[in-house]
Every structure is written in structure tokens, then in C-alpha cells.
Amino acid sequence: MSSLFILGRQPALGLAELESLYGAKSLKPVGPEAALLDIEPAHVDFDRLGGSIKLCKLLTELPSTNWRDIESYLYKTIPEHLKYLPEGKFKLGLSTYGLRVRPSELNASGLRLKKMIKAEGRSVRVVPNNSPALNSAQVLHNSLTGELGWELVAYRNGNKTLLCQTVAEQDIEAYSRRDQNRPMRDAKVGMLPPKLAQIIINLTAPSSGAVVLDPFCGTGVVLQEALLMGYEVYGTDIEERMIEYSRANLDWLHERRDVNFGIQLEPGDATTHHWKPVPSVVAGETYLGKPLSKEPDETLLHTIMQECDRIHRGTLDNLARQLPKGTMLCLAVPAWRVKNGFKHLKTLDYLRELGYNRMEFRFASNKELIYFREDQLVARELVVLVKN
């Protein structure tokens, strides 16, 4: 194993994403928030991953989880690697996961390492720790993945420690620009995060040159992310207004990123529309039902769920008549939070009858593939299907 991924807030989503793209045989979960992948970091397209925060190169495995032992190893080995750095001020950051070490101890270690590095004739700045692990803003703003920066990551693996160097960090500012700077946004139809859109697309593992269909395209977030990955896109929505919003947003993207892949947009009811040409994969967020500001009573929830089931059953039935056998789909469908967990679409109980098999992942169960925040009443359940 040569790459370590630090996973996002809901690690199961990141694991499923990596498994979909790189295969279960190449993947090994490590602890509660990371995974090892038997692929060199240089061969990972990290910018397309929505479920991973850091991509690290595995340097070595140390036979201890004691921070002083790890610091001692760094003290001995850092000098021999400094000579390979170009001239200029060096920046160093330290991050730990699962180790019993306080930020104050990391900062003290940083000062000792700084003194040693300066004794080697190098100008150096050590990024201070407010927590055991540096956040994305600290890594990016201090250029710790650049040619004059190191973020050294110590991750506990049982009674050993994986020592790694970060080579890529999730670009939080780029996500924010793609989300908030688009000219057309509509909170009433939901605000799909670009990171989640990436995961939805990646769970279908589109091949090069694929056409990604989003039958509920809304303001075009999934289409946007698919274009940035290099795919052609096909968006439909029952509302003409949403088609115009998507077109404006994709025009905006083209002006800033020079995206030249094929785009097809047209109004259409997903329960009856005929898509032509036939798409390669289907990926998108479906109709999530009426927005809720408080937990609904049983009668209202039953009415909302009935409406959603009607639309989802009609959509899947319509798609099944048009998609070739083996077509992959990933749909973010509603799941409603209640006191004892989640209530799910009843349509999911009839997938085989509708012509689909639901995918099972080795390292993430389907019940874990639910994206939600603590304040949300309507979550997004990621359903990965294969047309049979």
C-alpha cells in the first residue's frame, strides 16, 4: 500500500467512492477515518474525490504509537531529506490521528524540530497546531503540499504508526467558489454540495467519454462536476426554469474553466421523458419532497412519502424501459430522520421488480450511505443500482 487517504466527515461515503473507482482489492480501511490504497499518489485524480480530505504518500510504518518515539525518528531522518529541497524558506506542519498527543506537545516538538532544521542551515517556519491535525485551510494557506512544504502525518494503525507526507489537500476554497459564485441558485430546490455531487458521479464509475444523465438536474451541480471530470452531460428537469438556471450556470463555468465537453439540456418529466441519445450512466439528486423545518406528524410524513414514492417508482420504471442492461445509476433519494433513525422510500423495497439490482460495497454498508447534517430532517440516501 502506498497511498493513505484521510476521509471526510462521513467516512463510509469516502470508502464507497474509493472502492467504486479503484476496486476493493486495492483498498484497505485503516481505523475510523482513513484508508490505504495500493496505487501511487501520482496516479490518483484527487481533485475529483468528494469524500477524502487528504491524500498522503506512505513513507514508513513505525513500531510505536508513542509520540516521543515518533519525534525522535523525525529528528534523526529529517536532515538527510532536507538536502533534496530547493532553496528558499521551508514550511513544516505536523498532524496526528489516533495518537495520545496534545496540541501543546506537538507545538513543543515543532519548536525542537525547527531548531534542528535551522542548525542545518535552512530557514524554516513551523505551522502551529490548534488541534492534533492541521485543517485544510492551514495546509493550503501555508503551501504545505508545495515544493518547499511538508505536512507530516502520523496515523495510528493498531500498535503501530503510519508515517506519511501529504501530497494533496481538499481545496475548500475551490468548492466554495463553485457552490456560492454560480449566478443562478435556488434554495427552494435544495443546495446540493459539489463534494456530494462528485461522490454521486464517482459511485457510478463512468468510463472515459461517458455521457452522464441527471434526470432531476435542478441548477446543474451534478452536471457541473461531471463536466469538470471530463464527461459529457445530459440534463433534464420538469421545470423549464431549472433548465435555464442550469444553462446559465454551465455557461458561467465555461467562461472560467474553458469546459468544452458536450452539453444537452431539455425540459422533461422524469417519469415519462424519452432520453435520446441513451446516456452511459445516471447520476443525480432526485425529488426530496416538501422541505421540513420541524419533524412532521405521522399523517403529513405519510403524505410526503407517498408523493415521493410515486415519483421515484415512475422514474425508475421509465428509465428501466430505456437503459441497456448493465447501466449504472447513483441516485440521492430522500430519507426522513425520525426518533429511532431514518424512514426510507418504500420504492427501495421493489427495486428488483422495477428491473434493478442494488450494489453492495465491501467496505461500506448501504445503511451507512446516507448524507446528512445534524440539523437536517431530510437526508440524502445514496442508492447505487445496476440495470438488469
pLDDT of 374 over the 90 cut: no
How far apart CA 191 and CA 332 sit, in angstroms, is 13
What's the pLDDT score for residue 190? 63
Total-model pTM: 0.96
pLDDT of 216: 98
Contacts of 107 (CB under 8 A, 6+ apart): 128, 129
- For the ranges 27-36, 242-251, 292-301, 345-354, which has the lowest average pLDDT? 292-301
Topology of the domain covering 3-170: VC0802-like (3.30.2130)
Contact in structure between 317 and 269 (CB atoms under 8 Å): no
Q: Which cell numbers hold the place of 152?
A: 507530516
Q: Note the pLDDT of residue 49.
A: 98
**Quick one: average pLDDT of 362-374?**
95
Residue-wise pLDDT for 239-252, tens only, equals 999 999 999 999 99
Categorize the per-residue pLDDT at 33 as very low, low, confident or very high, splitting at 50, 70 and 90. very high
Angle, alpha carbons 44-49-53 (nearest 5°): 95
Distance, CA of 281 to CA of 165 (rounded, Å)? 35
CA distance 3 to 225: 24
Domain boundaries, the chain: 3-170, 180-387
Bridge partners, 93 (sequence order): 151
| Alpha carbon distance 71, 192 (integer Å) | 42
Whether the per-residue pLDDT at 296 is higher than 70: the answer is yes
Residue 27 in contact with residue 18, Cβ under 8 Å? yes
The arithmetic mean of pLDDT across residues 3-27, rounded, is 98
What percent of the chain shows pLDDT beyond 90? 91
pLDDT at 299 over 90: yes
Q: SS3 string of the chain?
A: CCEEEEECCCHHHHHHHHHHHHCHHHEEEECCCEEEECCCHHHCCHHHCCCEEEEEEEEEEECCCCHHHHHHHHHHHHHHHHCCCCCCCEEEEEEEECCCCCHHHHHHHHHHHHHHHHHCCCCEEECCCCCCCCCHHHHHHCCCCCCCEEEEEEEEECCEEEEEEEEEECCHHHHHHHHHCCCCCCHHHCCCCHHHHHHHHHCCCCCCCCEEEECCCCCCHHHHHHHHCCCEEEEEECCHHHHHHHHHHHHHHHHHHCCCCCEEEEECCCCCCCCCCCCCEEEEECCCCCCCCCCCCHHHHHHHHHHHHHHHHHHHHHHHCCCCCCCEEEEEEEEEEECCEEEECHHHHHHHHHCEEECCCCCCCHHHCEECCCCCCEEEEEEEEEEC
Q: Compute the average pLDDT of residues 360-365.
A: 98
Give tens-digit pLDDT for 92-146.
Answer: 999 999 999 999 999 999 999 999 999 999 999 999 999 999 999 999 999 999 9
Measured distance CA(314)–CA(292) in Å, rounded: 24
Which CATH topology does 180-387 take? Rossmann fold (3.40.50)
From first CA to last CA, the distance across the chain in angstroms is 35
pLDDT at 290: 86
Residue 188 confidence (pLDDT): 67
How confident is the model over 300-352, as pLDDT tens digits?
A: 999 999 999 999 999 999 999 999 999 999 999 999 998 888 999 999 999 99
- Percent of the chain residues topping a pLDDT of 70: 99
For residue 60, what pLDDT is reported?
97
CB contact at 8 A, 285 and 193? no
At residue 29, what are phi and psi to the nearest 5 degrees? -65, 145
Q: Is the peptide bond before 277 cis (omega within 30 degrees of 0)?
A: yes
Range 274-279 average pLDDT: 97
**Cα(51)–Cα(38) distance, integer angstroms:** 18
